[in-house]
């Protein structure tokens, strides 16, 4: 049986729950191995379970993810209390990288760490809070590292995940990274 939530844990969960979308969309498939989403989707056991993610890359630092067996048991207990079915799901390998979503954030400093984590995955979900700036930037860096041009990476991610909108600083860093990968 899972341990009871501490008052601060419960308050944190309730605040995050209130900020998340009530009916989040499913993850966006970028490649057969790479998916992109918001924190709302990443916190939804019923949405995640069918995808069999082996790894999840969290770029918001903190969120309401269910990343341990204990957290999954607690979430399933809450689901049952609300009259919903429990979800059978094994937690994937998690990596949290706290990246502020600000144009002056040096996101390029974490490109290699994130790309290496993604390359170890059979199937990875990359997410940030809204799924619009940080996570798409990292997914595009991954595609560029695998040979895509900046424009190709942006088009591929935007087609699969239309809400993609990296901030101006992230976009500039991606273009510089792409030029460096090409040797310009």
**Mean pLDDT, the chain, integer:** 85
pLDDT in tens, 148-182: 999 999 999 999 999 999 999 999 999 999 999 98
| Paired sense of beta strands 124-127 and 55-58, if any | parallel
Could you tell me which of 148, 102, 150, 154 has the C-alpha nearest to residue 128?
102
For the chain, domain boundaries = 7-182
Angstrom distance (rounded) from CA 19 to CA 143: 30
Could you tell me which of 57, 56, 63 has the C-alpha nearest to residue 16?
63
Phi and psi at 38, nearest 5°, equal -90, 175
Of 60, 95, 114, 128, the active-site residue reads 128
- pTM, rounded to two decimals: 0.81
- Are 42 and 131 a contacting pair, CB within 8 Å? no
Q: Is 181 a catalytic residue?
A: no
How many secondary structure helices (H) and strands (E) does the chain include? 8, 5
The fold for domain 7-182 equals: 3.90.190
Mean pLDDT of 136-154: 97
């Amino acid at each position: 049986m899972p341990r009871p939530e501490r008052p601060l844990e419960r308050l944190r969960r309730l605040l995050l729950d209130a900020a998340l979308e009530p009916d989040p969309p499913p993850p966006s498939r970028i490649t057969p191995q790479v998916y992109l989403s918001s924190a709302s989707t990443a916190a939804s056991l019923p949405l995640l379970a069918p995808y069999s993610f082996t790894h999840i890359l969290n770029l918001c630092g903190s969120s309401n993810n269910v990343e341990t067996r204990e957290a999954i048991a607690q979430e399933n207990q809450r689901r049952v209390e609300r009259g919903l079915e429990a979800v059978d799901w094994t937690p994937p390998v998690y990596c949290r990288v706290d990246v502020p979503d600000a144009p002056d954030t040096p996101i390029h400093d974490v490109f290699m760490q994130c790309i290496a984590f993604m390359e170890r995955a059979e199937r990875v979900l990359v997410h940030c809070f809204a799924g619009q700036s940080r996570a798409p930037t990292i997914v595009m860096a991954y595609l560029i590292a695998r040979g895509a041009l900046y424009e190709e990476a942006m088009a591929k991610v935007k087609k699969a995940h239309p809400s993609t909108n990296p901030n101006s600083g992230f976009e500039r860093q991606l273009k510089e990274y792409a030029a460096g990968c090409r040797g310009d």
